[in-house]
Amino acid sequence: MELDPDELLKLESQVCFGVAVASRSVISAYRPVLEPLGLTHPQYLVMLALWEQAPIGARELSSLLHLDPGTLSPLVKRLESHGLVARRRNPADERAILIELTETGMALRERALGVPLEMMRRLQLDEQDVRDIQRLMDKLIQAASDAGD
């Protein structure tokens, strides 16, 4: 089957268009679910990483979230101002910063436990759908990363 260049150049044929629209739509759907927790979507991602791996170095957190330090730093500062995280010097390397959860940040995890299921309900996805999307997104992220090298 030969690919039609005119079809390939259509907006709806672009992977980047679908990903961009899906990203904005999904993040928007998270907003009302995260508001009661006092978190924005980017802050939620930081908290998810911290609930899994805190304390963690700022560099490691930046890498884990695929965020540059200049983007991560204001997110962490905002979470710190809300009393959810604390930053301290790493005793093993005084130049490095460790980010850890406060008691309030740890307690927020309990309130966040319902977020994934609520989002699956809102987005009308079942567990297999989520696994399939995650697998395809991982493949896409890796391919895009490899293409950028």
Q: pLDDT digit of tens for each residue in the chain (149 aa)? A: 788 889 999 999 999 999 999 999 999 999 999 999 999 999 999 999 999 999 999 999 999 999 999 999 999 999 999 999 999 998 888 888 899 999 999 999 999 999 999 999 999 999 999 999 999 999 999 999 999 87
Amino acid in the structure at residue 23? S
Is 68 in the same domain as 119?
Answer: no
Predicted local distance difference test score (pLDDT) of residue 138: 96
- pLDDT tens digits along 92-126: 888 888 999 999 999 999 999 999 999 999 999 99
The answer to whether position 21 is within a domain reads no
Is 128 in the same domain as 68?
Answer: no
Structural domain of 67: 27-110
The answer to whether position 19 is within a domain reads no
Distance CA 48, CA 85 (A): 12
Is 48 in the same domain as 87?
Answer: yes
Alpha helices in 35-126 (DSSP H): 41-53, 58-65, 69-81, 103-112, 115-122
The answer to whether position 37 is within a domain reads yes
Predicted local distance difference test score (pLDDT) of residue 128: 98
3-state SS, residue 34: helix
Provide the number of structural domains found in the chain: 2
Contact partners, residue 47, CB within 8 Å, separation at least 6: 39, 79, 84, 105, 108, 109, 112
The answer to whether position 11 is within a domain reads no
Predicted local distance difference test score (pLDDT) of residue 5: 87
From residue 65, alpha-carbon distances to 55, 92, 114, 129 in Å are 15, 23, 22, 23
pTM score, whole prediction:
0.91
